[in-house]
Structure 1
Amino acid sequence: MEKGTISINAQNIMPVIKKWLYSDKDIFLRELVSNGCDAISKHRLIAMKGDAPAEENYRVDVILDKEENTLKVIDNGIGMTADEIVKYICQVAFSGAEEFLKQYKPEEGENGGIIGHFGLGFYSAFMVASKVVIDSKSWQEGAEAVRWTSEDGMTYDMEPSDRAERGTCITLYLNEDEKDFLSLYTTRGVLEKYCAFMPVPVFLSEVKKPEPPQEGEEAKEGEEKEPEKPAEPEQVNETAPLWLKRPADCTEEEYREFYRKVFHDYEEPLFWIHLNAEYPFNLKGILFFPKIRNEFT
């Protein structure tokens, strides 16, 4: 009997991943936001162990820039060093989450809020982008920021980055036929579809160009132009969904509003059951029973 291992040619498999990994291209946004939430959950665990200062304002930002044709996903989580980028990004489907949890074990029965890991999900970005850039700075003291750039998902360049804050910024240079994702309306819909209950605040904004001077109002010589900046960010998710609350703390109107928002049904539900069990296993959720119309009602 002969045994062996199956080899995979990266140049042959990457086009397959880009085309067939997911049925819907908009999944890339869920994957990148999930990765950002994971990075924040990891930093939160490290801070709880006392190995890093605590952070109060954890967040993930999605920023659209129509002029630059870019979509950015930014988090202030754990960040990565150059070695970690090579390990977690350049090895497709490497389980960074599993390795991290072995070192920083959360409370028994929990996973620290970590959803997944960099790997195949990250490469879904190439379904919509011709170029992807990662700027990251690790939480570790003395760590240098690093920039990773790839235009095909198979080769990359890595160099120092000017990123000053802890965390990661992923910049997607969108393909010509994927510019719909530069629309606030479209991207808000995708975030509400996939990220409505992410455990970290998720904000959406777009870069606004400064208004050109009106006729007869020429800029003064030597006067600096107003820098471009994102508009006021809009939070698109609910970090404390209704099913995590105690039934005694929820009102009937909250249940109805939650039902309307999640299921897009503006009829009131027939009734609901709020599940909140902690023994013999942890179970939280809400079962809604909709009103069903038929010819007799």
Structure 2
Amino acid sequence: MTKEELVDCLGTIAQSGTSKFLKALKENKDLGADNGLIGQFGVGFYSAFLVAEKVVVSTKSPKSEKQYVWEAVADSSSYVIREETDPEKLLNRGTQITLYLRSDDKYEFSDPIRIQNLVKNYSQFVSFPIYTWQEKSRTVEVEEEEKPKEGEEEKPEGEKKKKTTKTEKYWDWELANEAKPIWMRNPKDVEKGEYNEFYKKTFNEFLDPLGYTHFTTEGEVEFRSVLYIPGMGPLNNEDVMNPKTKNIRLYVKRVFISDDFDGELFPRYLSFVKGVVDSDDLPLNVSREILQES
């Protein structure tokens, strides 16, 4: 971003640069609209301060030769924008965001597994790749150190030594959102096995569903959905008509929003149904009655 864009987009609460960009795309039909872009509420960036005491944004726009740094702390009502002069911190192009975690959150949200699980839960279906820094292990082949036994001569240099294997730890980037949103595809192009596999992975089931339906609804609220009838009934009687089951996952632009609807999306006798509902234009304050009626 340029310095002006930093002031306009990050210096003003509820000023969504993404929503402006999407509006411009829709007005210019020759360019089309990228529905993969997320951001219509203008406050998403500021959620970083829920876990960070300081946020630093380093950014270099292709429209400018200078790189700028936007910096703010959680307890302040102001921010600072400066030009980056450290040659080791210069970017070729793009944006780097650094969160300085609060003392009470730094252990939880710096844990690689915790970060990966958050990505998988909330953003596993977004269209752009998200990588997390993870510890991995691999098996490598090494030469075995052989000490000569008493009375034996050492083996001459150059003679091949016996080899063995050992496991070593290393760190690398790992793609955290490999899953694809099956509901975005044309139902005619999706095989039954793909529906079953998606169901089992999404809801941690081991049996194929008894049935499913894949549909799109248009009207006051437009959304896509895939609903399943589980292959096995509830294990106890309390779950048969339990309105608080978390069987329906609501997404907005492939980002997970909630699965806690307290029985308001389905009548109690359908609380066993599992599935996903995804909308591109669903405001977060839309009434659940509107969604249910749709």
Q: State the TM-score, normalizing by the size of structure 2.
A: 0.57
Residue 150 (structure 1) aligned with residue 72 (structure 2): yes
1:165 lines up with 2:131 in the alignment? no
For 1:29, the equivalent position in structure 2 comes to: none
**CA distance, structure 2, for counterparts of residue 124 and residue 107 of structure 1:** 32
Q: Secondary structure at the match of 1:180?
A: coil
- Superposed, 1:1-297 pairs within 5 Å as 80-105=1-26, 107=29, 110=33, 112-117=35-40, 119-140=42-63, 142-152=64-74, 153-161=76-84, 162-178=89-105, 179-206=107-134, 231-238=171-178, 240-275=180-215, 284-290=224-230, 291-293=232-234
For residue 275 of structure 1, what is the amino acid of its counterpart? F
The one-letter code matched in structure 2 to 1:170 is: I
What is the CA deviation profile of residues 197-222 of structure 1, one whole-angstrom value per residue up to 9, with x for unaligned ones?
011111111599xxxxxxxxxxxxxx
Whether contact under 8 Å (1:145, 1:164) holds in the other structure is yes
Aligned partners of 1:203 and 1:233 also within 8 Å: yes
Instruction: Give identity over the alignment, percent.
Output: 34
Give the structure, 1 or 2, with the largest relative contact order (CA under 8 Å, sep 6 or more).
1
User: What's the secondary structure of 1:98's corresponding residue?
Assistant: helix
Contact 2:36/2:126 (8 A) holds in 1: no
1 or 2, which has the higher helix percentage?
Answer: 1
Quick one: which amino acid aligns to residue 128 of structure 2?
V
Larger radius of gyration: 2
Match of 2:209, SS? Answer: coil
SS in 2 for 1:233: strand
Change (3 A) 1:252 1:150: same
- The SS at the match of 2:44 is helix
- Whole-Å separation in 1 of the counterparts to 2:206 and 2:173: 28
Q: Any idea what the Cα deviations from partners look like across 1:242-267, whole Å, max 9, x if unmatched? A: 22233343333322221122122333
Q: Deviation digits for residues 15-53 of structure 1, max 9, x if unmatched?
A: xxxxxxxxxxxxxxxxxxxxxxxxxxxxxxxxxxxxxxx
Structure 1 regions of 5+ residues with no counterpart?
A: 1-79, 209-229
Between the two proteins, the alignment pairs up a number of residues equal to 195
Aligned residue type for 1:132:
V
Sort the Cα spacing of 1:190 and 1:158 in 2 relative to 1 into closer, same or farther, 3 A.
same
Report SS of the residue matched to 1:265.
Answer: coil
In 2, Cα distance between equivalents of 1:90 and 1:192: 30
CA distance in 1, matches of 2:14, 2:218: 33
Partner residue in 2 for 1:69: none
Maintained 8 Å contact 1:89/1:118:
no
For 2:233, give the aligned amino acid: I
Aligned-pair distance for 1:284?
3.9
Change (3 A) 1:276 1:155: closer
Q: Larger deviation: 167-176 or 198-207? A: 198-207
Query: How far is 1:187 from its partner?
Result: 0.9
Contact kept in structure 2, 1:260 and 1:266, CA below 8 Å = yes
Rounded to whole Å, the distance in 1 between the matches of 2:98 and 2:39 is 20
